[in-house]
Every structure is written in C-alpha cells, then in structure tokens.
C-alpha cells in the first residue's frame, strides 16, 4: 500500500491548474518505481523519503519544479533551481523511461549511503586597502571611525569601493562626506536595503 500523505493531496489540489497534472504525474512515477517511498512536507513542499530524502517538488504561480536530493549524482551536470528548471507542462519533464531510471538511480544512491559533497564555503572577504584620504576623513570623526572599525571586511569594502570607484574628484569628495556621515550614524553602506 503506498505511503501517501493527505497534505500532498491538498498541496496538489491548491496548485495552479497547469501544475496539477505535472505534480500528479511525478508523484505517480515515484510511487511506481519506489513502492516503499514515504511522502512528507519539508520546507513547505512535497518531499519523498526513501532511506533519506529522495526528491522533492514544488508549485509556484507560473511554473513547477522538481529535483532529486542528489540531483548532480543522479542526472549529472549543474543543477538548475530544484533540478529540472521551470516546468509549465508535462512536455517539460524527461520521458517516463528516463524519469524511472533517474528514480531508481536516486534510490540506489540512498541505499548505498552515498553522501553529496558539502557546499563550498564562501571565501572570507579580503579587506581592500583604504586610501589615505579615506582614512584621514574617518579619523576626523570618532563615531564614524568606531563604526568603520567595528564593521566586517565586507562592510568596509562596500564603503571603500563606493568612494574609490568615483571617476570625478567632485563625486569622490561628495561620496566620502556621505560615507562619513552615515558611518557616524552607525549605518552600513547599503543601510537602506537592510531589513530592520
């Protein structure tokens, strides 16, 4: 007996009309190839579990998405979004035979305990060299200097780049004055766009 989750039925029913046949078809293929699969919701989207996460799918306003948890190992190549990119019709899916082969491969990877390699860690920001005129302006305002000193390298770089990339001396001077003013107020360069 398939291990279906009523929340997945509700998810598909609430999806846009174009998405319902796509999601229903993917679900059917998964259950046919992997009778022991269990359905659940993870990250508010239908997920299929078989000795770990096998795959998941999602519906959006104008497209659907589907991908294997170990997509790169199953399908190869780089992952696009959830895996197969934006889908708007059944024609956007690989053939049933291909999908079935992918499902079996994903199952085998989970059975064998194959792990995906961890995502590459972001490189630490390297602090740019601040020009002397920049540092001199900060030294004239203790609050601005204290804020600048407390910033992470990436935040410092935002100000340094903004000021130094100005081509005209007049623009550079105006930006430097604005930077000192904002830092004296404790603001990062892109403070307008940061969440409160």
Q: What is the CA 136 to chain-centroid distance, rounded?
A: 40
Are 85 and 146 part of one and the same domain?
no
DSSP string, 14-66: HS-TTHHHHHHHHHHHHHHH-TT-EEEEETTEEEEESSSEEEEEEE-SS-EEE
What are the pLDDT digits (tens) for 70-104? 888 888 866 555 677 888 999 998 999 999 999 99
What pLDDT is attached to residue 123?
67
Look at residues 111, 146, 170 and tell me which one is the last residue of a structural domain: 111
What percentage of the chain exceeds 90 in pLDDT? 70
Are 11 and 96 part of one and the same domain?
yes
Confidence (pTM): 0.59
**Using N-to-C axis directions, what is the helix angle for 132-139 and 169-184, rounded to 10°?**
40
Are 148 and 70 part of one and the same domain?
no
Query: Count of domains in the chain?
Result: 2
Instruction: Examine residue 119 and state whether it is found in any structural domain, yes or no.
Output: no
Contact between residue 41 and residue 52 where contact means Cβ atoms under 8 Å apart = no
Q: Which of 37, 93, 43 has its CA nearest to residue 65? A: 93
Average pLDDT score, the chain? 89
Average pLDDT for residues 182-195, to the nearest whole number?
87
Q: Which of 112-121, 160-169, 186-195 has the highest mean pLDDT?
A: 160-169
Edge-to-edge strand order for the sheet containing 45-49?
38-42, 45-49, 53-59, 64-68
d(CA 92, CA 21): 12
C-alpha pair distances (Å), 81 with each of 70, 75, 85: 13, 14, 6
- 195 pLDDT band, cuts 50/70/90, is low
What are the pLDDT digits (tens) for 21-31? 999 999 999 99
- 185 pLDDT band, cuts 50/70/90, is very high
Look at residues 76, 111, 146 and tell me which one is the last residue of a structural domain: 111
User: At residue 118, does pLDDT exceed 70?
Assistant: no
Instruction: Examine residue 95 and state whether it is found in any structural domain, yes or no.
Output: yes
State whether the Cα torsion 187-191-195-196 is positive or negative: positive
Look at residues 111, 146, 172 and tell me which one is the last residue of a structural domain: 111
Are 164 and 81 part of one and the same domain?
no
d(CA 124, CA 153): 8
Instruction: Examine residue 1 and state whether it is found in any structural domain, yes or no.
Output: no
Could you give the 3-state DSSP secondary structure of residue 100? helix
Instruction: Examine residue 21 and state whether it is found in any structural domain, yes or no.
Output: yes
Average pLDDT for residues 2-15, to the nearest whole number?
90
CATH number at residue 17: 3.90.1150.200
Which range of residues forms the domain containing residue 176?
A: 132-190
d(CA 50, CA 18): 28
């Amino acid at each position: 007996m398939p291990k279906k989750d009523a929340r997945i039925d509700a998810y598909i029913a609430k999806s846009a009309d174009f998405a319902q046949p796509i999601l229903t078809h993917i679900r059917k293929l998964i259950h046919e190839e992997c009778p022991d699969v269990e359905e659940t919701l993870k990250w508010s989207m239908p997920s299929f579990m078989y000795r770990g996460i096998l795959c998941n799918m999602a519906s959006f306003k104008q497209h659907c998405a589907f991908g294997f948890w170990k997509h790169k190992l199953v399908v190869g190549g780089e992952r696009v979004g959830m895996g197969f990119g934006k889908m708007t019709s059944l024609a956007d899916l690989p053939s049933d035979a291909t999908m079935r082969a992918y499902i079996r491969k994903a199952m085998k990877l989970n059975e064998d305990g194959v792990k995906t390699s961890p995502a590459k860690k972001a490189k630490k920001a390297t602090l740019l060299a601040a020009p002397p005129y920049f540092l001199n302006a900060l030294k004239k305002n203790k609050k601005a200097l204290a804020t600048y000193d407390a910033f992470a390298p990436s935040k410092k770089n935002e100000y340094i780049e903004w000021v130094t990339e100005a081509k005209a001396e007049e623009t550079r001077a105006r930006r430097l004055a604005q930077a000192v003013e904002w830092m004296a107020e404790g603001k990062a360069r892109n403070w307008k766009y940061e969440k409160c």
